[in-house]
């Protein structure tokens, strides 16, 4: 394999990196600048990417930033107030988002592809390659299937062969691991432009294993800019009487001032805000770090909940964390660093540029795939449990959340009724016990199973998650060899769904377990009813009257228990029925064996035994 580049497709800025003999290196543009603003504007219908678009080469209404937030999303996922703060126009429906430019509509994937194509050309120029195709692209850990697939689609649209989609916190851990070579537990706190991620990783002998991950897919530097922008709009209206909230050109200027103030207050105690207003008026005020931190405090606090949840999922306390790594430009803010240090009880690592660390890690992963780095291995995790619907409408988990990927799990099921020739397979994602409370991922059918008695067919279901987190489910009937499979396609999942799923699973854990136990007990009872009735009918003329009466009473008792909301009572009634029916079952078996042996030669009997053995 030739050169493979690593790309950090960021909300605010994007970078491309590669691995040279001295380690990972950021690829600069012709002016020696590594950061490419993730902004695309249009001038006379033609795209302008990066710094020129950011500096006003295109009109505000046709200059698109923070597009990463819209990847794989629907317009309905955003509230009207949030969209109103954007200086550019936005359109869409319940399935997609579009950016209108004249008579043309661009999707987030198309805009992102323009950014990726610019990075691709930069790398080709810097590395002297005529065409570079192979790349690794990073995404937030909390990106769902649709968002990951949208990122892959953008890469392919830019002319890249996307070898791997890597979580941003994991890429950062790779970058630090290359330098540190430490063994221990690492927390990666990643507060970028549009998303927040926290990952807990174990590093041992060059192997990174993600123990847990959590985050907020709608929290980052953009939210800080939004709050400062809102503050400035209010100040302008109250002091000067101008309502500029719908003026797109002024919104761009105010947002630039807000973003610069955020950067200034990461190093200085105060900054001056200057803006020329209509009618020759002027905004001129001082914003102190204390005032800034008061605005910022609620956002910083929002990062602590997912951080504590990740620790809980990993089964660790803050004292057990050996290293804390900061990622993302927003971690330069002193209040953020202070909160992280207080949470984990130690000063976080910041040796590497937080804007560059993800791209550097992507370059390392790219080098691993190219065969250059062989002493390091990356193991990621799946954020939610995966399983199947079983009888009674309960979910049978095959892969638990936070399971290391790539991974594989299998389970054997059987038919529920005689002569069943097909099985409907329903793939689910979530943490609840009942199917109705989980997310449906896919449905397919295993058909062509030869008719046989209930319970005789052996259907093996295999879940396989590849390194990109894509799930493949296969099903096969082991006796006949009939098989089918499905790759679970990306589907829409809103920003807060994962957090809501986890919260609901914790809140309803006790009730869910009780419901599952009751359903499973009733399913077992339903299986017993026809078999018990058949046994009583068959043995009514030959069974001992007292035994028949005891079995009949036990069956009636099970019917009554079945209607009660007590799974233990149903289980006890099932056990009582089996005990009462045991003499009848034994009598029927003895008669069946005697009939089979009657008038048979020894060779016939041995042949029958061998046939039964071969049939399992």
pLDDT of residue 142 exceeding 90, the answer is no
Judgement on whether residues 527 and 469 belong to the same structural domain of the protein: no
Indicate whether 42 belongs to any domain: yes
pLDDT of residue 33: 92
CATH of residue 139's domain is: 3.30.420.40
pLDDT of residue 379 exceeding 80, the answer is no
- Rounded Cα distance, 164 and 354, in Å: 22
pLDDT of residue 610 exceeding 60, the answer is no
Judgement on whether residues 140 and 190 belong to the same structural domain of the protein: yes
Torsion sign over Cα 366, 370, 372, 375: positive
- Rounded Cα distance, 217 and 499, in Å: 10
Indicate whether 462 belongs to any domain: yes
Q: Which residue has the higher pLDDT, 401 or 223?
A: 223
Judgement on whether residues 139 and 213 belong to the same structural domain of the protein: yes
Indicate whether 615 belongs to any domain: no
- Widest CA span in the chain: 115
- Rounded Cα distance, 39 and 56, in Å: 11
Q: What is the pLDDT of residues 474-519, one digit of tens each?
A: 888 888 888 887 776 544 344 455 456 556 666 776 777 787 788 8
pLDDT of residue 493: 42
Short-list 568, 554, 553, CA closest to 517: 568
Judgement on whether residues 290 and 332 belong to the same structural domain of the protein: no
CATH of residue 441's domain is: 2.60.34.10
Q: What is the pLDDT of residues 11-33, one digit of tens each?
A: 889 999 998 888 899 999 999 99
Indicate whether 51 belongs to any domain: yes
Mean pLDDT of 174-195: 75
Last residue of a domain, one of 507, 531, 555: 507
- Provide the domain limits for residue 305: 5-220+295-381
Indicate whether 248 belongs to any domain: yes
Q: Which residue has the higher pLDDT, 41 or 222?
A: 41
pLDDT of residue 18: 92
Indicate whether 26 belongs to any domain: yes
- Rounded Cα distance, 393 and 572, in Å: 22
Q: Which residue has the higher pLDDT, 292 or 464?
A: 292
pLDDT of residue 375: 56
Short-list 8, 127, 118, 108, CA closest to 66: 108
pLDDT of residue 123: 93
Mean pLDDT of 147-173: 87
Mean pLDDT of 89-94: 83
Binning pLDDT at 50, 70 and 90, where does residue 69 land?
confident
Give the catalytic positions in this structure: 8, 68, 168, 190
Judgement on whether residues 359 and 402 belong to the same structural domain of the protein: no
Judgement on whether residues 34 and 138 belong to the same structural domain of the protein: yes
CATH of residue 593's domain is: 1.20.1270.10
Q: What is the pLDDT of residues 198-231, one digit of tens each?
A: 988 887 766 667 788 888 877 888 889 989 998 8
Short-list 218, 66, 38, CA closest to 142: 218
Judgement on whether residues 80 and 185 belong to the same structural domain of the protein: yes
Question: Among 116-120, 356-360, 397-401, 474-478, whose mean pLDDT is lowest?
Answer: 397-401
Judgement on whether residues 259 and 355 belong to the same structural domain of the protein: no
Binning pLDDT at 50, 70 and 90, where does residue 342 land?
very high
Binning pLDDT at 50, 70 and 90, where does residue 376 land?
low
Indicate whether 197 belongs to any domain: yes
CATH of residue 258's domain is: 3.90.640.10
pLDDT of residue 409: 84
Judgement on whether residues 173 and 305 belong to the same structural domain of the protein: yes
Mean pLDDT of 112-125: 95
Binning pLDDT at 50, 70 and 90, where does residue 555 land?
confident
pLDDT of residue 613: 46
Judgement on whether residues 407 and 446 belong to the same structural domain of the protein: yes
pLDDT of residue 136: 93
Judgement on whether residues 216 and 226 belong to the same structural domain of the protein: no
Last residue of a domain, one of 465, 491, 507: 507
Last residue of a domain, one of 353, 381, 409: 381
Indicate whether 242 belongs to any domain: yes
- 229 class by beta-carbon count within 10 Å (0-12 exposed, 13-18 middle, 19+ buried): buried
Mean pLDDT of 422-435: 84
The per-residue pLDDT of the chain, averaged, comes to 83
pLDDT of residue 414: 81
- Rounded Cα distance, 389 and 423, in Å: 11
570-to-549, 576, 582 alpha-carbon distances in Å: 20, 10, 18
Query: Most confidently modeled of 219-233, 359-373, 448-462, 537-551?
Result: 219-233
Q: Give phi and psi for 196, each to the nearest 5.
A: -120, 135
Number of domains in the chain: 4
Judgement on whether residues 147 and 159 belong to the same structural domain of the protein: yes
pLDDT of residue 178: 46
- 101 class by beta-carbon count within 10 Å (0-12 exposed, 13-18 middle, 19+ buried): buried
């Amino acid at each position: 394999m030739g050169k493979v580049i690593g790309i950090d497709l960021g909300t605010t800025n994007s970078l491309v990196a590669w691995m040279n003999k001295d380690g990972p290196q950021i690829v600069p543009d012709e002016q020696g600048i590594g950061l490419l603003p993730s902004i695309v504007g249009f001038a006379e219908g033609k795209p302008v990417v990066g710094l020129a678009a950011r500096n006003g080469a295109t009109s505000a209404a046709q200059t698109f930033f923070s597009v990463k937030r819209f990847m794989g999303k629907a317009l309905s996922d955003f509230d009207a107030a949030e969209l109103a703060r954007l200086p550019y126009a936005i359109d869409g429906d319940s399935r997609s988002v579009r950016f209108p430019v004249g008579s043309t509509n661009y999707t987030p994937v198309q805009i992102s592809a323009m950014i990726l194509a610019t990075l691709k050309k930069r790398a080709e120029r810097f590395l002297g390659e005529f065409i570079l195709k192979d790349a690794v692209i990073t995404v937030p850990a909390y990106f769902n299937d649709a968002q990951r697939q949208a990122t892959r689609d953008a890469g392919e649209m830019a002319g890249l062969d996307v070898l791997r989609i890597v979580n941003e916190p994991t890429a950062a851990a790779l970058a630090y691991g290359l330098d540190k070579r430490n063994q221990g537990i690492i927390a990666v706190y990643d507060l970028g432009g549009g998303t927040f991620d926290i990952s807990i990783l174990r590093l041992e002998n060059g192997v990174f294993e993600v123990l847990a991950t959590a985050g907020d897919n709608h929290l980052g530097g953009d939210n800080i800019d939004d709050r400062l922008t809102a503050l400035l709009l209010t100040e302008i209206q109250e002091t000067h009487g101008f309502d500029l909230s719908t003026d797109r050109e002024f919104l761009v200027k105010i947002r630039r001032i807000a973003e610069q103030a955020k950067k200034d207050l990461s190093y200085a105690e105060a900054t001056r805000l200057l803006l020329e207003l209509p009618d020759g008026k002027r905004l001129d005020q001082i914003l102190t770090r204390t005032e800034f931190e008061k605005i910022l405090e609620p956002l910083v606090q929002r990062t602590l909940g997912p951080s504590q949840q990740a620790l809980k999922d990993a089964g660790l306390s803050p004292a057990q964390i050996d290293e804390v790594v900061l990622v993302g430009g927003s971690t330069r803010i002193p209040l953020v660093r202070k909160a992280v240090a207080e949470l984990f009880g130690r000063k976080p690592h910041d040796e590497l540029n937080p804007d560059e660390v993800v791209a550097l890690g992507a370059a390392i992963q790219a080098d691993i795939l190219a065969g250059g780095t062989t002493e390091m291995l990356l193991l990621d995790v799946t954020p939610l449990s995966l399983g199947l619907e079983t009888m009674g409408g309960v979910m049978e988990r095959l892969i638990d959340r936070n399971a290391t990927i790539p991974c594989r799990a299998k389970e054997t099921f059987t038919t529920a009724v005689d002569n069943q020739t097909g099985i409907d397979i329903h793939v689910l994602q979530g943490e609840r016990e009942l199917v109705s409370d989980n997310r449906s991922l896919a449905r397919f059918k295993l058909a062509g199973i030869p008719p046989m008695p209930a319970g005789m067919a052996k259907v093996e279901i295999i879940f396989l998650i590849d390194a990109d987190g894509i799930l493949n489910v296969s099903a096969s009937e082991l006796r006949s060899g009939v098989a089918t499979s499905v790759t679970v396609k990306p589907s829409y999942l809103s920003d807060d769904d994962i957090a809501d799923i986890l919260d609901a699973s914790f809140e309803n854990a006790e009730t869910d377990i009780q419901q599952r136990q009751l359903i499973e007990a009733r399913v077992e009872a339903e299986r017993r009813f026809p078999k018990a009735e058949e046994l009583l009918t068959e043995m009514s003329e030959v069974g001992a009257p007292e035994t028949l009466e005891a079995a009949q009473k036990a069956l009636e008792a099970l019917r009554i228990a079945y209607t009660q909301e007590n799974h233990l009572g149903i289980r006890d009634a099932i056990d009582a029925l089996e005990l009462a029916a045991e003499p009848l079952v034994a009598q029927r078996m003895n008669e069946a064996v005697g009939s089979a042996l009657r008038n048979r030669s020894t060779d016939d009997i041995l042949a029958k035994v061998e046939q039964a053995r071969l049939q399992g």
